[in-house]
Chains A and B, each alone.
Chain A
Amino acid sequence: MRGIACLRHDRAGGALPTVSGRHGNTGEGHRMAAPAPILRMSGIGKQFPGVKALDRVDFRLLPGEVHALMGENGAGKSTLIKVLTGVHDIDAGEIELEGRRVAFSSPLAAQQAGISTVYQEVNLCANLSVAENIFIGREPRRFGRIQWKTMRRRAVEILSRLDLDLDVSAPLASYSLAIQQMVAIARAVDIDAKVLILDEPTSSLDADEVAQLFRVMRRLKEQGIAILFVSHFLDQIYEISDRMTILRNGALVGEYRTSELSQVELVGKMIGRELADLEKLEARPSALEAAPLVEAEQLGRSGAIEPFTLTIHEGEVVGLAGLLGSGRTEIARLLFGADHAGTGSLKIGGEQVNLRTPRSAVSRNLAFCSENRRAEGLIPDLTVRENIILALQAVRGWTRPIPRRKQDELVDKYITALNIRPANPEQLVRNLSGGNQQKVLLARWLILEPRLLILDEPTRGIDVGAKAEIQRLVAELSDGGMAVLFISAELEEVLRLSHKVGVLRDRRLVAELDNDEGLTTDALTETIASGARS
């Protein structure tokens, strides 16, 4: 009975020949015996207003494999996934699941056919309980009544398979983003899935949680489930995936075995250039005799961050390293006035200040790009132009509008400078890919020419090309005299950019290390792990 209303099974006109299946298992050793693909997408095309998102893309998934979908932001990864899961219609091409041609009219129809998805940003209801979130839309019922006890019991079972021990009656919001992500995966896994799509599942997980996720993924793989995996962490791709498909600008670059493609080759194919820009950034000069810009003295907020003392000089990049939840973001929020400091004092440019709101921080020329683009950064229904001028307009107040000519000038300048695509200022920001949204957010603050730019995970969930662009930008800004507080989970990145690194552990700033030749990621990792004061 399932899915009759929304799922259309059409018999393909003629049986399409399968390329590598059926005749493949003729004794060439089990590595080469490719079984028939469980999923085959061919010639997929999708057009959005002004954007050709997918152009004749082929894609196939074999049962029991982890398949990485690779590409820059805007390459079409998310669109391909949305087309597959029935979020969008396709304009051209066809999709076959287990040899039958299918077209899903909704994510629910795709789910009922066995394609489950965990999206990049957690898409659960934070105000419902953990158990409700796992069973939402398919609650165990008897005589139409929800069986709460059964639901809770089964939720505990499902979570224990992921080695998670949670209070399933507690609201989801009471758990960290990482745990919420795991609940989303638990939900997807429990649905009788043949294909599991994980879109950036690891971007908010720390190393242990990633390892935990990979354990679960391997177990699912053994059960013959095909896993489509999207991640920007190359190391993770190489650790977990069997094969990969690379997209660029909405077109297929190719399908490869992970073991047969080196990381350098992969990056080259993704960005269409042979050299990896990441290596081109010069070592940062560390000697600085600039004036102190921000001086935090025993600044703290109970329950968020222990009192810390930190000085940021003009033109200095200060990195913050630490695990998820170690207090990195909390420091940023205190310095920006997003939260009130309970203790300590703060001087900006030598002047004692009490930042009560972000507004007072912005008027003192501080800027803050939140790690949570969707909830704390962008206004999705406004255009790129409006999002970019928003902070400047807020500083000027509503009685002094920015003349339209001036707006266009500023916006065009930053669309070009940051390479925002599509380069259409009147496009709604919600239609942009993650990396381009991040650039819009950056542009909003850069037009203010701030004295201190706080970047919280600016490169999370964005591709190598955009990452390199943002890193280069940070270096340039700091050379121009801007102070930057740079927060990132990637230690290499922190090391590459920072003059000085603050290390956080358990909501405490445990060390402040000068970034000279002696400092390595290993040393940082050790400080994070041991919490030693230097």
Chain B
Amino acid sequence: MNRILKHRLFWPVVVLVALLLLNLVFTDGFFRIQMKEGHLYGSLIDIFRFGAPLILVATGMTLVIATSGIDLSVGSVVAIAGALACMQISDLSDQNSVTGVLSAVGIALVLSVVLGLWNGFLVAGIGIQPIIATLILMVAGRGLAQLITDGQITTVQSSSYKLIGGGYWLTLPFGIIIVAVVLALTAFLTRRLALGLLIESVGGNAEASRLAGISARGVLIMVYAFCGLCAGIAGLMISSNVSSADGNNAGLWIELDAILAVVIGGTPLSGGRFSLSGTVLGALIIQTLTTTIYSIGVPPETTLLFKALVVTIVCLIQSPAFRSKVFHRRRRPVAASAAPEEKVRVSA
């Protein structure tokens, strides 16, 4: 029991379960999953489906934060990737052409990696603090996305492109499958191969890592490039789902949700140890919260406040320092009241 309580994912799981139970009470058929036309439908599936882009972005963010960095530009990369792909597809003579869509997707992802490399170069090559280095692309990237789409919302009619964010495969939404593949790949690279150890080492002490023969610079650049790639895939998913690219609003504030997901998942902002499963839980908590707000009918003008409150509580519960303070204070009166009881028992 004690071991379960002390597990670092214990509290995120508790919060997620609590949110789901809230829905059980307030929402009819929340846990019902149906099969319609060979596709799975249900609120739980929706949480995964709509949460997919956030999980992707947060996965890349986890690795960046583990190196004691941060990437604020992911929202802009989301917008750029979607914009570039949609522009390419809208130029195609046949928008449903699989090769045309594939090349558009490929070009968008390559650009995402390049943008990630740019961040990595600023951080590791030049030595700018990550928050400043990525702030540059966060601001400039929105402009770049609008430049690509010419300030318009570009719409496409491509069933092939629609598959990424809105389609189904093997009864599941395609986005969930993409997320599963990316997560499996990330887990393989970091935990099966030794990339995770090197990332945690660089995040724990960059100079000591360099003196141990680790190419700290190489690790950093790779991690930022990977984060860019994850954001790019998320961007494709978001724009594909609505078959359009909105340079202004696509992925707006997703960097903050992603950072939050990482922190809720137990990876400290100071770097070092990271937890991929924690991040997935964190992202699911945020998505479930959003769904819950709609399903239990919180008035629209108070949704942001409600979300902020829940997030604050989650973060406090997650903090060992806060927990020990609260439980420490509570324990004393309990111990004091236990003492008289014992006396009674002795006298009886």
Instruction: Tell me, in angstroms, the Cα distance from A61 to B108 when the chains sit together.
Output: 71
A379-B201, A381-B200 are contacts. A402–B209 as well, Cβ < 8 Å? no
With A368-B211, A382-B204, A394-B213 in contact, do A399 and B198 touch (Cβ < 8 Å)? no
In chain A between 395 and 418, which residues have their CB closer than 8 angstroms to a CB of chain B? 395-402
Q: Say if the beta carbon of A203 comes within 8 Å of chain B.
A: no
**A391 contacts partner chain B, Cβ-Cβ < 8 Å:** yes
**Bound-complex Cα distance A396 to B213 (A):** 10
**Which A residues lie within 8 Å of B219 (CB)?**
398
User: Quick check: A362 and B213 within 8 Å, CB to CB?
Assistant: yes
Residues of chain B within 8 A (CB-CB) of A389 are: 197
Decide if B212 touches A394 in the complex (CB within 8 Å): yes
- Does any Cβ of A come within 8 Å of B192's Cβ? yes
Q: How many A-B residue pairs have CB under 8 A?
A: 86
| A363 to B214 Cα, complex, angstroms | 11
Known contacts A398-B194, A399-B193; A380/B204 CB under 8 A: yes
One of B193, B194, B205, B272 near A378 (C-beta < 8 A): B205
**Interface residue SS majority, chain B:** helix
**Does A216 interact with chain B (Cβ within 8 Å)?**
no
Q: Does B210 contact A (CB under 8 A)?
A: yes
- Is the pair B194, A379 in contact by a Cβ cutoff of 8 Å? no
Q: Establish whether residues A380 and B215, one from each chain, have CB atoms under 8 Å apart when the complex forms.
A: no
Closest to B209 in A: A379
Q: Is B49 an interface residue (CB 8 A)?
A: no
| Alpha-carbon distance A363/B215, docked complex (angstroms) | 12
Task: Tell me whether A379 and B208 are in contact (CB under 8 A).
Answer: yes
Q: For B198, list chain A residues within 8 Å (CB).
A: 393-394, 398
Which chain B residues border A397 with CB–CB below 8 Å?
A: 194
Chain A residues with Cβ below 8 Å from B208 are: 370, 375-379
Closest CB of chain B to A127's CB: distance in Å?
Answer: 14
Write the chain B residue with the least CB distance to A389: B197
Determine if A424 is an interface residue (Cβ-Cβ < 8 Å): no
Contact with B along A255-293 (1 / 0, CB 8 A): 000000000000000000000000000000000000000
A377 → chain B, closest Cβ, in Å?
6
The answer to whether B214 touches A394, judged by C-beta atoms less than 8 angstroms apart, is yes
Contact A379 B204, beta carbon cutoff 8 Å: yes
Q: How far is the CB of A373 from chain B (nearest CB, A)?
A: 9
> Do the beta carbons of A375 and B193 come within 8 Å of each other?
no
Q: Which residue of B lies closest to A430 (CB)?
A: B204
Residues of B within 8 A of A362 (CB): 212-213
- Min CB distance, A440 to chain B, in Å? 12
Chain A: interface size category: 20 to 34
Which residue on chain B has the smallest CB distance to residue A362? Answer: B213
Is A359 interfacial (CB-CB < 8 Å)?
yes
Residues of chain B at interface, number, CB under 8 A = 22
Complex: A396 Cα to B212 Cα, angstroms: 12
Q: Please indicate the chain B residues that have their CB under 8 angstroms from the CB of A377 in the complex.
A: 208, 211
Q: How far does the alpha carbon of A507 sit from the alpha carbon of B200 in the complex, in Å?
A: 36
Q: Which residue of A lies closest to B204 (CB)?
A: A379
When distances are taken between beta carbons in the complex, the residues of chain B under 8 Å from A396 are 194
Flag if A363 contacts B213 (CB, 8 Å).
yes
User: Do A402 and B194 have beta carbons less than 8 Å apart?
Assistant: yes
Docked complex Cα distance between A395 and B195 (Å): 13
Contact of B213 among A370, A375, A391, A400 (CB under 8 A): A391
Q: Is A444 an interface residue (CB 8 A)?
A: yes
| B207 within 8 A of partner (CB) | yes
Q: Is B273 an interface residue (CB 8 A)?
A: yes
Q: Are B213 and A395 neighbours in the complex by a CB distance under 8 Å?
A: yes
Q: Is A358 interfacial (CB-CB < 8 Å)?
A: yes
Query: Roughly how many angstroms separate A357 CA and B192 CA in the complex, as a whole number?
Result: 27
A379-B208, A381-B273 known; A390+B214 contact, CB < 8 A:
yes
A316 within 8 A of B: no
User: B205 — nearest CB in chain A belongs to which residue?
Assistant: A379
| Given known A-B contacts A399-B193, A402-B194, A381 and B211 have beta carbons under 8 A apart | no
Within the complex, the shortest CB–CB distance from B329 to chain A, in Å, comes to 13
Task: Encode contact with B along A344-386: 1 for CB under 8 Å, 0 otherwise.
Answer: 0000000000000111011100001010000111111110001
**A452 CB to nearest chain B CB (Å):** 14
**Docked complex Cα distance between A370 and B208 (Å):** 9
Q: Which residue from chain B places its CB closest to the CB of A377 in the assembled complex? A: B208
A368: nearest chain-B partner, CB-CB: B211
- List 22 A–B pairs whose Cβ atoms lie within 8 Å, in order of A's numbering: A336-B211, A338-B210, A357-B210, A362-B213, A368-B211, A375-B205, A379-B201, A379-B272, A381-B272, A382-B200, A382-B272, A386-B201, A390-B209, A390-B214, A391-B212, A394-B212, A394-B213, A394-B214, A396-B194, A397-B194, A399-B193, A401-B194
Q: Considering the complex of A and B, which 9 residue pairs feature the smallest CB-CB distances, nearest first?
A: A362-B213, A379-B204, A394-B213, A401-B194, A381-B272, A394-B214, A398-B195, A398-B194, A391-B212
